[in-house]
Amino acid sequence: MKSSIADLLRQAIDGLPDLDDAPEFASLSTTVERARDPRHGDFASNVAMRLAKAAGRKPRELAAEIIERLPASELVAKVEIAGPGFINFHLGPAAFHREVEAILEQGADYGRGERRDTPRVLLEFVSANPTGPLHVGHGRHAAYGATLGNLLEAAGYPVAREYYVNDAGRQMDILGVSVWLRVLEREGIAIPFPQAGYRGAYIRDIAAAVDAAALAKVTADDVSSGLPADGPDGDKEAHIGALIDRAAELLGEDGFLALRQQALESILDDIRDDLAEFGVVFDRWYSERSLTDEGRIDAALEVLKKRRMLYTKDGATWFRATDFGDEKDRVVVRENGKRTYFASDIAYHYDKRQRGYDHLLDVLGADHHGYVARVRAGLEAMGYAGDDLEVQLVQFVTLYRGGEKMQMSTRSGEFVTLRQLREEVGNDAARFFYVMRSNDQHLDFDLELAKSRSNDNPVYYIQYAHARVASVFRQLAERELEFDAKAGIAALDRAVEPQEKALMSTLSRYPEIIELAASNRAPQHLVHYLRDLANEFHSYYNAHTFIVDDDALRNARLALVTATRHVIGSGLAILGVSAPDSM
């Protein structure tokens, strides 16, 4: 609808003689927007004001000329100049009737953007370290990323979703040691648990599933003799480091590897199930360790080396990140010969591009923002555009219970898991609340509010609108009447009530909202839109009866109601929230 108006404007402006050099308005849709005030019509354009200077004309004069050149359209009832030079479009009823018809025809597809082949988007999100269950912070990443993926797809982009599994490095060793010690503990071999170990209850669960016989042929003394003191008095990092070495020694490299692998798989299974239950599904789980195994890190470093982007200093290999705007150069190979995490990340992002994805969209925690510049630098150094990488940062979540802030501490194991949250408030409320706020805003998540089955809760408000529609149709069937969509569309000119006009106008905004929310990476636009739509539906519901005796009027109203159901259902699906038929 909006693009039709923009098309009309473009035709009018293309013919203007003294405006040949205004290429920045190639995309005129940016100058057309919904009028905020109904008195200003349905759409307004500021294009005359924006072009006035380049044309050396007065805005209102230019506007008048543009209006004169506007091709006739059956959509537009009236065009007028207003204020400093706005061009206001008043659409005729037929324009909205046509949209309602389109919704009924297209159903769930209404509002989707035209499918395109590029850019191919690789959306990476969650990617939580597989060292424990997901907590409420990861939940926000999951909900945001999944919704973003749905939005991008709805807008027409090809999207692949990926979870980067940090299954390499020291944290896996620490995980292995933590499980090992819990296994020994079960076997009656008590060793003080290291400060730097993972002490959550889930470690004990994993330990319980381990075949202990082979691991238990050691004494407490074998394990802990001669270790450097643990924190807080000693060095907890040195302590756990020595424990890791001890584990490899006593279990053998293979034995320790198997233990780590079992722990990793157990945790990954849990994460996978958790996310699947939350409606969050990935196309691929990409193993960090596979980068090493398949030589991709070496390959990436080789590319950098060939491009003279590496140098050696203090025994380490450095990447010239400052050449690409980073604040300092970064180590990729440590003095001890081990590659840094950053080296993996360069290789990973390089691989993403190599696999043919043009646009790399990473959803990261706000605490990772310092990381963006160097990964982008890495891509540029390998010959790709820095803009190929886009990072959306997600701010932290604070849990409240009825206004009371809940303390969370990973160290003590007293964090609320995503699973607990989902069980308490339900998947729908969780998905909804997570994306209700802008991702770069801190989120206060109130458990009581999310759970409340009252009118305080915006999830139910929207779902209720959907359920009400279904209920209307149950009533219709009970009265042995049928909805005739064709007759309804034909009779839409009977829908002249203020609530009907408002509803039609809002329904027709849906495609614009999809586009807006997708391009701004801002699911909250969709949330607010659905709330508005539900609001208008509820108002309509209260003001007028749908199932009336007059066949034409009844079918017209039911056409509107059906269109509302389609759009709410489609919008909720994008949010990953169910659209119930009864509540």
Which of 69, 171, 144 lies closest to 361 in space, CA to CA? 144
Report angle CA 537, 541, 544 to the nearest 5 degrees. Answer: 130
DSSP string for 127-165? ---TTS--BHHHHHHHHHHHHHHHHHHHTT--EEEEEEE
Stretch that binds RNA, among 178-186, 250-258, 362-370, 562-570 (CB under 7 A): 362-370
290 lies in the site for RNA, by CB under 7 A: no
CB of 208: closest distance to RNA in angstroms?
26
Which of 476, 475, 466 lies closest to 555 in space, CA to CA? 476
Residue from 217, 307, 313, 411 touching RNA (CB under 7 A): that is 313
461 lies in the site for RNA, by CB under 7 A: yes
322 lies in the site for RNA, by CB under 7 A: no
Give a three-class secondary structure readout of 352-363. HHHCCCCEEEEE
* Closest to RNA by CB, 100 or 534: 534
CB of 386: closest distance to RNA in angstroms?
14
Q: Mask: binding to RNA, 400-439, rule CB under 7 A, as x and -?
A: ------------------------------------xxx-
- Cα 467 from Cα 561, distance rounded (Å): 11
Residues 52-91 that bind RNA (CB under 7 A): 53, 59, 82-84, 86, 88
Which of 552, 408, 407, 548 lies closest to 488 in space, CA to CA? 552
Residue from 70, 516, 553, 573 touching RNA (CB under 7 A): that is 516
147 lies in the site for RNA, by CB under 7 A: no
- Cα 115 from Cα 144, distance rounded (Å): 22
541 lies in the site for RNA, by CB under 7 A: yes
Residue from 116, 217, 545, 551 touching RNA (CB under 7 A): that is 545
CB of 220: closest distance to RNA in angstroms?
28
The reply to whether omega before 119 is within 30° of 0 (cis) is yes
Give how far Cα 549 sits from Cα of 434, 495, 552, 553, 555, Å: 44, 15, 9, 8, 10
* Closest to RNA by CB, 219 or 520: 520
- Cα 174 from Cα 179, distance rounded (Å): 9
Residue from 443, 495, 503, 518 touching RNA (CB under 7 A): that is 443
Q: Which two tokens stand for residue 279?
A: 């409606």
275 lies in the site for RNA, by CB under 7 A: no
* Closest to RNA by CB, 159 or 469: 469
Stretch that binds RNA, among 93-101, 226-234, 250-258, 471-479 (CB under 7 A): 471-479
Stretch that binds RNA, among 149-157, 190-198, 218-226, 388-396 (CB under 7 A): 388-396
Residues 97-136 that bind RNA (CB under 7 A): 129
178 lies in the site for RNA, by CB under 7 A: no
Residue from 458, 488, 511, 571 touching RNA (CB under 7 A): that is 458
Stretch that binds RNA, among 68-76, 144-152, 221-229, 324-332 (CB under 7 A): 324-332
Q: Is 83 left (phi over 0), alpha (psi -120 to 50) or beta?
A: left
340 lies in the site for RNA, by CB under 7 A: yes
| Helix, strand, coil percentages, rounded to 5, for the chain | 55, 15, 30
Residues 6 or more apart whose Cβ sits within 8 Å of residue 122: 159, 160, 162, 352, 355, 357, 359, 360, 361
Q: Give, for 73, the enclosing helix (H) or strand (E).
A: none
* Closest to RNA by CB, 34 or 494: 34
346 lies in the site for RNA, by CB under 7 A: no
480 lies in the site for RNA, by CB under 7 A: no
* Closest to RNA by CB, 79 or 123: 79
Residue corresponding to tokens 């993996």: 344
Number of residues near RNA (by CB under 7 A): 96
**Greatest C-alpha distance within the chain:** 94
Which of 372, 420, 419, 417 lies closest to 393 in space, CA to CA? 372
CB of 478: closest distance to RNA in angstroms?
9
Q: Is 335 left (phi over 0), alpha (psi -120 to 50) or beta?
A: alpha
Residue from 3, 16, 19, 40 touching RNA (CB under 7 A): that is 40
371 lies in the site for RNA, by CB under 7 A: yes
Q: Give, for 391, the enclosing helix (H) or strand (E).
A: strand 389-394
CB of 217: closest distance to RNA in angstroms?
30
CB of 461: closest distance to RNA in angstroms?
4
311 lies in the site for RNA, by CB under 7 A: no
Stretch that binds RNA, among 3-11, 62-70, 206-214, 536-544 (CB under 7 A): 536-544
* Closest to RNA by CB, 384 or 546: 546
Stretch that binds RNA, among 67-75, 165-173, 206-214, 252-260 (CB under 7 A): 165-173
Strands 43-45 and 86-91: antiparallel
Give how far Cα 338 sits from Cα of 168, 169, 170, 316, 350, Å: 12, 10, 11, 9, 19
27 lies in the site for RNA, by CB under 7 A: no
Residue from 99, 124, 153, 288 touching RNA (CB under 7 A): that is 288
197 lies in the site for RNA, by CB under 7 A: no
Residue from 78, 116, 338, 355 touching RNA (CB under 7 A): that is 338
Q: Give, for 87, the enclosing helix (H) or strand (E).
A: strand 86-91
Q: Which two tokens stand for residue 541?
A: 């519901």
Stretch that binds RNA, among 143-151, 271-279, 369-377, 404-412 (CB under 7 A): 369-377
Q: Which two tokens stand for residue 148?
A: 């973003």
Residue from 108, 311, 520, 550 touching RNA (CB under 7 A): that is 520
287 lies in the site for RNA, by CB under 7 A: no
Q: Which two tokens stand for residue 77?
A: 């009832």
